[in-house]
Structure 1
Amino acid sequence: MRVLAGLIVASLLAAAPAQAQTVFAPDDPGSSGQPGGWVNDQWNFLPGTGVDAPRAWGNLIAKGRPGGIGVRVAVLDTGLAYADRGRFRRSPDISRFRLARGRDFCPHAGPGEDPCDGEDAYPDDPNGHGTHVASTIGEATANAIGVTGLAYGATLLPIKVLDRDGYGDQQSITAGIRYAVAHGAQIINLSFEFGTLVSSARQIPLVLSAVKHARRRGVLVVAAAGNAAQARVAYPAALPGVVSVGAVTEDGCLADYSDSGPGLDIVAPGGGDDALRPGEPQCRPGVALRPIVQMTYAGSKHRFGLPRDYVGTSMAAPHVSAAAALVIASGILGPKPTPQALEQRLKATARDAGPPGPDQAYGAGILDAGAATAP
């Protein structure tokens, strides 16, 4: 049984609300090379159809916890470009001071098997997917490099459970979840899916047990809903107690690849093209729309840049994980909010989309980090 990383390779500022509010505008240049140029790349962080990061950042600065400082987020993925070690290089926009000691659980492979390098203490990323996902959560911000991370002050715990081709198995994922819990993670991000062959929790009992363990220990588990355009949420996002995240485009429309259905909890920016949604005038199927831009490998495992081919529910899930980190740091829900309270806060403050009220295409609505962290 294998799991595949949920990646499909393939004027934005809204009118200001009437009330005064604190916002934060970083100097990260983005692809333009100009201070503040990130706004031209990261539509997903802006007000409107994005998650309103400037307002959320301002809320956390006002609380004295900029960027969610003090919160630990585990990223279970293909690893992270976190250090210069051997043939691997550190992303210049990943802060050394915001990293916890991770682990590589990608099992050693024999001839013809999954291309892992064996379990060890070095969760290096040979793919780029994990670095992109982690960067949405915690890429360094206001450092005049690249673009921004939503919870830029949070501590990243990189855990490698997928191989260089984006595949993993139940054993490595289970070990990764349990390691994250044992090492202080408050949020676990799972940007991958088992695919259509897994249609029941009974088929992945080890992962189900690990998720239950995480919830009992007060850890929020967030997962990508899947990229098969199915009317059901993929596993592990469909497991009880996991916050399942679908994807929307820069039009605020369900993405044409995003899984949906009765188990969908919330949606967040994933990039790509609109689904055909009759009765939703914002949707423009067939129009090429923008991806999610973060710093990761760009054409070479030794060169970093801002590639334009990352779209998927993999990209949507870390927005929710990062917003949850900001909510924890804000103290709005008390010093140690439960996973249930965090999930409810994110849903209650989401922007409605599609038919009025919660629905199977958009769940509770589009994530709004600005509203979720508002006093």
Structure 2
Amino acid sequence: MNIQVNTLLLGATVLVLTACGGQKDEQQQGPPPPTPVSAVKVMKGSAVYYDEFPATITALVEVDVLPQVAGNITGIFFQDGQPVRRGQKLYTIDPQQYRAGYDQAVANLNVQKANLNRAQKDADRYNTLAQQDAIARQVVDNASATLEAAKMQVAAAEASIRAVGTNLKYTTIYAPLDGTIGISQVRIGSAVAPGSAPLNTISSDNPIAADVQVDEAQIPRFLALQNQKNGVRDSVLTLVLPDGSVYPYPGTVRIVDRAVDPQTGTLRVRVAFPNPKKQLKVGINANIRVKNNTGQPQLLIPYQAVTEQMSEYFVYVVGDSSKVTQKKLVLGARINDKVIVKSGLKEGELIVTEGTQKVREGAKVNVN
């Protein structure tokens, strides 16, 4: 009996000691330590940023050089790819047949003038005789009709001279504008005719343009840029070249197209740039940066503080007792390493920038 009592007392003692030991271990472990993080205060700043649009360099004016008469090329008077001036001689087409036709037309005009002179004299003489009743009236009428026909023949001969003279003039082709001429598509001796392929193309190169396709929502923005004065537009529109460098001259909106493309929902806008060094060439693919300045300070936070979940954006805000709370944001444009916050935060709030992957809602943090 005594043995059983002692055994029970020993077991109870072990249980009590075990329970006490467990409570002591729990007291020693305690709550987890605060998570070390970095944080910054939400501040307002200048919200100046740029939107980029793909662009293609194009000429403000581009003209195909076309033959107006048929014949063989007898002269080329420029160097391919070089600047040309308006009125500069570019090509000649063999003029021999046109000069011969012109000479013939001149000779025919002289003949018709001689016939007119004779008809005029006959009509004057017959009219004088008619006043004396010395000639039949029919003869007078015939003389007057012959005179009118001679006048018409002279007019027709003069028109023929103008037509043949125009063709002769077209045997020499001149530059229609100042610009840069391309590589000639014909050589001396090539046969050309009206309606054939262009002999060459001349494009204006200073100023030059960049065409962009903008979404219809951007139309008011570009119309406003078009209507601004030159002094206000400085550096609002800049061009980024294919090598990443920024073109040194700012652009101006020259043309906003008349209609939106119904298939793409975009509108073509043409931006003009000075090109004094001929650095920009037609066909270059570049990007146009459009300066965007709201005019009001905006809430700006480091972009690294933002976490994305299911296409929504959040930050951790450090609150009372150093506990974090996750807040949903509506973001605006990204500006370098920062982003505009449209809603979800207030100025002066403390947000976690580093260590976001280690914290959870309600967790305690230690801000470094």
Q: TM-score range by the shorter chain?
A: under 0.3
Q: Which has the higher helix share?
A: 2
Structure number with bigger Rg? 2
TM-score scaled by length of structure 1: 0.15
TM-score scaled by length of structure 2: 0.15
Q: Which has the higher strand share?
A: 2
